[in-house]
Amino acid sequence: MKQYRIRGTWYTVKARCIRQALLKLVDADGNFTYKSHWYTKSRRKSWAEFETSYGYKGILEEV
């Protein structure tokens, strides 16, 4: 399990993947779109840009 948070906040959640973390932090209904990215070429840390249907945008990052 990895820890994720929305950039600029202190609250973290444990999740197996980015999608699971987004469901916990952003919208449990899955009403959002996201694009995954990696910090390093070795793919150790991940982050994702997300946007909900009601206009909330942000960045989810692995801690």
Q: Global pTM?
A: 0.85
- State the pLDDT at residue 44: 73
pLDDT > 90 in the chain, percent: 70
Q: Using pLDDT thresholds of 50, 70 and 90, give the confidence band for residue 60.
A: very high
Give residue-wise pLDDT tens across range 6-17: 999 999 999 999
- The answer to whether the beta carbons of residues 13 and 4 sit under 8 Å apart is yes
Burial 45-61 (b: 16+ CB within 10 A, else e): ebbbebebeeeeebebb
- State the pLDDT at residue 45: 83
Give residue-wise pLDDT tens across range 27-43: 888 899 999 988 766 66
